[in-house]
Each structure stands twice: as structure tokens, then as C-alpha cells.
Amino acid sequence: MTVAPHKDERPTAERILDIAERLVQTRGFTNFSYADIASELRITKASLHYHFPGKAELGLALITRYGERFAQALSRIDSALPDAPAKLEAYTGLYADVLEGKRMCMCGVLAAEYETLPESMRAAVLRFFDDNQTWLTHVLAEGEKEGTLAFSGSRDDVAQTILGTLEGAMLVARPYGDLTRFTATARQLLLSLTS
Amino acid sequence: MTVAPHKDERPTAERILDIAERLVQTRGFTNFSYADIASELRITKASLHYHFPGKAELGLALITRYGERFAQALSRIDSALPDAPAKLEAYTGLYADVLEGKRMCMCGVLAAEYETLPESMRAAVLRFFDDNQTWLTHVLAEGEKEGTLAFSGSRDDVAQTILGTLEGAMLVARPYGDLTRFTATARQLLLSLTS
DNA sequence: GTCTATAGGCAGATAGAC
DNA sequence: GTCTATCTGCCTATAGAC
């Protein structure tokens, strides 16, 4: 049991990650600075280095936390929804939620500046994509078994297509500030798998 | 008629654009510097400012030239190929060629860092996407008329989906350095429109 | 058109006091 | 944990000679 605190503020490291996460998703990793975070948190740049020694460590922590939360969301989808089509629709909903906050998928942004990232971050980005495709492949297998999904090509290829399509739809929709640009593509995609 | 030059080197401005184009497509717009171009061209940074006063002007020139060349490629496709499915396949081939050079679509990269771009560049990125979708919409109409393409949903929605899917497939495939990751998705996409 | 020289700002990062 | 002060390096950009 925890002692009831008079003020229950979240740890500084978490608040740093919150701000940095939003900045990465809207501007890109190299396009935000310690100064941006510091001014928003009302703390000095030097203090940030206490929590994250360098930008590479901060970046890795960002991807790790983002990936863990994404994995948790996928688990919730698995346990809450009855069949593969519902799960895929909920999956596209995760992306739509991100886009509604005028953000891009973190790993989609990082993929665009992949060449400039430190090696530790590169590996984490690929892991994120791999985890997504693994989950999608399982859902596709489930859908085939249920008879609720129909597609040609291997499950891996289709999983790849789903991931790429949603990342690309986000990428193009966000500059227009138009959520329906994304949802129209998501609908097209789901339709092609269920009919 | 042109006088035969002893040495027929292309204008410096074009060579600057060549180098900058490759840098944008591999690293992103804010992730390359005048110094990068200068050292590769064996010229000083100051000289670059003679050709392009500022980075915003350079960026706009990059998108403009890229868009013009893309439009020319689309015209060649229109006049060389007989039907809509062949045109769409050639369209995916344009993307595959870019990816083969380990590059990302320039406007795809710029879309990822859209929030940090000067207004003139933002507008040019959207124009590129719009032009692509306009062309795709015409091809889709042609395919419906010919009876060579079949799809549900509006032509605009499908054109949007094609553009987004290819951009996203590139975005995700490039970090893996695996062209087949792209071509598998392109095949899936074409299949969904012709069957 | 290209050069040298330099300005002015911001980046990530460190030392050491409190 | 947070601060002040500072470092080094790179960025875009400009002035003015050649």
C-alpha cells in the first residue's frame, strides 16, 4: 500500500517523456531540442540530462514506452473483441486516435529520418514494426480459421500491407488536417479483407 | 543549335539540386546542411547562397523540380501503356525505382516533418499529393470505362488509398533495406483492384 | 560566381554549487 | 534533483574582396 501523498504528481522522467513524445510525433526527433522540453516543463536543460544522459537515451526510452503501451492496447483488443474483423477495425482505430491528436505514429516519423538515428533507436523502430506485424499475422490466422476474413497472398504479406497502408494513410492525411482522409483508406482496407 | 562545348558540365544550380535531392530523400530536410552540399560539390557554403538565397528557396526548388519530373513520368506512362492496369503497375514501378536507390519519396519525407517546414514548402507538398491523386483518379475512371478495373468506393477514395498505401509501404520497407517488402504490398494493392 | 571571414544563434553536453 | 555557468560545435546567413 502507498502512503497517500498530498500532491500526487507524476515522476519528472515521465513528464519529460510525455512532452518529448508529443514533440517527436508532431515535429520529428531531430526537430525538437532539450530547450523545447525544458521551457515547457519549467526546468533547465541541465536537469534533463540528469534523467536522460543524452538524446539517444531519451529517444530509446520514448520508443520503448510507446511500444509497451501499443502492446497493451493490442492485448486489450484481443481480450475485448470477439472476432478478427472487429479486432482489425479496432486496430485501425488506434491509428485514428493518434491522428486525431494531430500526431503521426512515432515509429512512422522515425522511419522517415531512420538514416540519422543512433543504432539503438533504429533497432527499436524495427522491433516496433515487427511486433505489430506479428500481432496482425495472428489476427489474420484467426480470421481464416473463423472464416471471417478472406484474402489472397501470404499472411505475412497481408500483415505487411496493413501496417504500411495505415502508416502511409496517416502520413498523407495529417498535412491536410483531415481525419476522413485516413478513415476512408482504413475502410477500403478492411473491406478488401472481409469481402 | 548549340555550340559544341569542350566540357559540357551541367549548371551549378542543377548540381546543387541533385545533391540536395538525394540528401532530403535519405535524411530529411532539416537533417542536411549547406555544409553537406558544399563539401560534396567542392564549393564553399557562401557560394550556395548565390544560387539559393536561403534554405526555404532551395527546398521549394527541390519540390518543384521533383514534381515536374514526376509529372513527366506520368505523361510517359499515359502515352506508352495501353490500359489502366498497366498504368497502375508502372506507377508502382516509379516508387520501386526510388526505393531501389535507398531513397524515400521526397514528399513522403517532407510530410513527416511537415510542421517544421516553411509555408511555401508546405503548399508545394500538398500540391504534389493532389497532382498524384488527380492522375490516379483519371486512370481509375479509364479502368472502369474499359472494364479492366473493379473497385468499390469512390474514385477519389481509391486514389487516396493507392497514394497512401505506396507511400507507407516505402516508408516501412526502407529501414529494412528490403525492396520485396514494398513490391509485395504493391502486388497486393494491384490485385485488389483487378480482381 | 566564388572566395574569406565572420556574425549570431542554437544544438547537445558537462562541471560543480546547492 | 535542480540550478548557474560554460564549452564546443554546427547551423543559416551576410559583407565585401576578387
Digit-coded pLDDT (tens) for A90-138 = 999 999 999 999 999 999 999 999 999 999 999 999 999 999 999 999 9
Q: Cα separations (Å) of A105 from A162, A170, B112, B146, B182?
A: 14, 8, 10, 39, 19
The answer to whether A170 and A99 are in contact (CB under 8 A) is: yes
Nucleotides of D under 7 A from a protein CB: 1-5, 10-16
- Residue A24: what pLDDT? 98
- Please list every residue in chain B whose beta carbon sits closer than 8 Å to the beta carbon of residue A31: 30, 113, 115-116
- Residue B195: what pLDDT? 83
- Residue A3: what pLDDT? 54
Q: How many CA atoms lie within 13 A of B55 on its CB side?
A: 16
Q: How many CA atoms lie within 13 A of A151 on its CB side?
A: 31
- Residue A7: what pLDDT? 60
Q: For the residues A146-164, what does the mean pLDDT come to? A: 97
> What would the pLDDT profile of B158-173 be if each residue is shown by its tens digit?
999 999 999 999 999 9
Whether the predicted pLDDT of B1 surpasses 80 = no
For residue A46, give every residue at least 6 positions away whose Cβ sits within 8 Å of its Cβ, in sequence order, or none. none
Q: For the residues B143-160, what does the mean pLDDT come to? A: 97
CATH number, span B55-193: 1.10.357.10
Region of residue A11 (phi > 0: left; psi between -120 and 50: alpha; otherwise: beta): beta
Q: Do A165 and B160 touch (CB under 8 A)?
A: no
Taking the C-alpha atoms of residue B64 and residue B27, their distance in angstroms, rounded to an integer, is: 19
Q: For the residues B114-136, what does the mean pLDDT come to? A: 98
- Residue B9: what pLDDT? 81
Nucleotides of C under 7 A from a protein CB: 1-6, 10-16
The answer to whether A24 and A98 are in contact (CB under 8 A) is: no
pLDDT-derived band at B48 (thresholds 50, 70, 90) equals very high
> What is the nearest CA distance from B114 to chain A, expressed in angstroms?
7
Stronger pLDDT, B145 or B195, i.e. the higher one? B145
> What is the nearest CA distance from B5 to chain A, expressed in angstroms?
39
In this prediction, what percent of chain B has a pLDDT beyond 90? 95
Q: Do A165 and B163 touch (CB under 8 A)?
A: no
**Cβ of residue A51 lies below 7 Å from strand D:** yes
